[in-house]
Amino acid sequence: MKLNQLHDNPGATKNRMRVGRGIGSGKGKTSGRGVKGQKARKSGTVRAGFEGGQNPLYRRLPMRGFNNSNFTVDYFVINTGLLQRLVDQNKLDPKAEVTVASLIALGLTKKAKAGLKVLGTGDLSAKLTITAAAASQSALEKVKKAGGTLNLIAKKEPVKKLTKKA
């Protein structure tokens, strides 16, 4: 067998239909699309689930299920290493209390979110007084080791609904 003798089996390939080339071709004028209507146009397709403008099934049925992201708490997070860098650059006074408001004044964040969360990445040698909503265990240890204090704000417990028992 030689490379110049290779070819497909008979009937394996088919010439493409050239549409819109006159009445004699069999696919002239409307090019096999029928006559008029939405499907005869160049953009004549509709998306999946489209019901001609009627309110579709996926919108008529109620939403069901649970999504845990509705209950996530979004904190403004800061690391102990960044706090130490701010003290070294004289942007943060080690004698002043570190709160969300003081960090907003420094321009580190625009929103308080759900409060300040301190994480323990990086070293801390400055004696700081920090008031935060949450903190990691390593952050608590590093602040205590540096001689500072980390005050955690008490979280509000969700109010449980009382139900009548019959």
CB-based contacts of 106, cutoff 8 Å, min separation 6: 86, 91, 92
Domain with 134, as residue range(s), is 74-152
The answer as to whether 166 is a domain residue is: no
**pLDDT confidence bin for 158, thresholds 50/70/90:** low
Is residue 54 within 8 A of residue 61, CB to CB? The reply is no
Mean pLDDT for the stretch of residues 29-58: 91
Q: What is the CATH number of the domain that holds 108?
A: 3.100.10.10
Chain Cα centroid distance, residue 14: 47
The count of domains in the chain is 1
The answer as to whether 25 is a domain residue is: no
Per-residue pLDDT tens over the stretch 60-90: 999 898 888 888 889 999 999 999 999 999 9
The answer as to whether 42 is a domain residue is: no
